[in-house]
Homo-oligomer: A and B are copies of this chain.
Amino acid sequence: MTELALQLSERQTADFEMIGNGGFAPLTGFQGSADWQRVCDEMRTAAGDYWPIPITLATGLECEVGDVIKVTSDDGKPLGTVTVEEIYQRDLEHEAKSVYRTTDLEHPGVAAIHEDGTRCIAGPIQVDALPDHEDAFQRRYLTPAESKQAFADRGWKRVVAFQTRNPIHRAHEYLTKAALEVSDGLFIHPLIGKTKAGDVPADVRMKCYELLMEDYYPDDRVILGVNPSKMHYAGPREAVLHAIVRRNYGCTHFIVGRDHAGVGDYYGTYEAQELFDEIDLDELGIEPLKFEHTFWCNKCEGMASNKTCPHDADSHLFLSGTKVREMLGNGEMPPPEFSRPEVAQILIDAYKEDN
């Protein structure tokens, strides 16, 4: 048996970390062909558990079944091993169609699996160490076991998780707080792994979240963690993955917004919410809280959504993503009803540094 070594890509490092820290339970390794097939076809592992997106290790590394591969993170940190149980070819078209509902190579998730390639090795991992993160993330880092303990310490039974890969403006602050009103605690759990170009970088977002934790969320009801996952942009299927991950972190409820984990026009606005209607929630172990588009309404004199506000759109404060980026890029503050001024300032400063 030769000494085999593999440096994982950034995306593979994130998967190794999520398997290793328990965020991807019940997975204990990279998935083999039987898992891959049933995940694609039925959204379940070969063993029968709900699982929406194959977690695979695509690599050209020469190896044989039985080999133990030493793996390092994308920045060279030794993480542990993968024991090769199977080497197989996956059908990228089938995976794209089943998981992403499109074979379009412009889709960033579909592009990523094509970049990774068809040849996968599968098998259990052994974790010696988790990947390192920059300090801004590391000091908010909680493993699933740690977040469960933190919830238990606070006596929280009903805990709602919020997934985000964007700064939190007032619309999202509102929906997290509406969810918190009917829960014991809120777990703000931003994804800090690989996102697509153009998204606000995770370290800048982290400053925004920290500011909100300081000034606008109560300490005793809200915990800010980090989710080291990468994004797939798989829309409905990824919403289910996001829910499973938060179940593993100890949450009982999960916020599902419009076009959750979507990109471009690949998914219908409510497709992610609707997929949960086809799922046995007791079996899944976490319940979705489905939210509408939220905004400030001048007639309500408060935050609201199409569900709770009867007034015309011209009473609603609406700024497109493009418009907001343009304002922030020009050093211009959006109205305080759109964004907390302190948050806007962080983003304005980040745009300045960027240029």
Contact = CB atoms under 8 A, between A and B. Distances in A.
A331 to B, nearest CB: 23
Given A174-B302, A301-B336, A302-B302, A307 B181 contact: yes
A304 B182 contact: no
A162 to B, nearest CB: 13
Nearest to A289: B182
A305 interface: yes
A300 B336 CA distance: 11
| Number of copies of this kind of chain in the complex | 2
A307 B217 CA distance: 9
Contacts of A292: 181
Interface in A276-323: 289-292, 294, 300-310
A303 B302 contact: yes
Given A181-B175, A182-B291, A215 B310 contact: yes
A180 B307 contact: yes
Which 5 A/B pairs are nearest by Cβ-Cβ distance?
A218-B310, A177-B308, A178-B178, A178-B181, A182-B289
A219 interface: yes
Interface string A154-187: 0000000000000000000011011111100000
A88 interface: no
Q: Among A175, A303, A307, A337, find the residue whose CB has the most chain B CB atoms closer than 10 A.
A: A307
B310 A216 contact: yes
A181 B309 CA distance: 10
A221 interface: yes
Given A178-B181, A180-B308, A221-B307, 14 more contacts: A175-B181, A179-B181, A179-B182, A180-B307, A181-B292, A181-B305, A181-B308, A182-B182, A182-B289, A215-B310, A219-B310, A221-B308, A301-B336, A302-B303
Nearest to A221: B307
Contacts of A215: 310
A219 to B, nearest CB: 7
A298 B47 CA distance: 53
A182 B215 CA distance: 25
Given A174-B302, A302-B174, A303-B302, A291 B218 contact: no
Given A302-B303, A336-B301, A217 B310 contact: yes
Contacts of A302: 174, 302-303
A260 to B, nearest CB: 15
A174 B180 CA distance: 13
Q: Among A181, A301, A308, find the residue whose CB has the most chain B CB atoms closer than 10 A.
A: A181
Nearest to A340: B301
Interface string A206-245: 0000000001111101000000000000000000000000
A184 to B, nearest CB: 8
Contacts of A310: 215-219
Contact of A177 (B179, B289, B304): B304
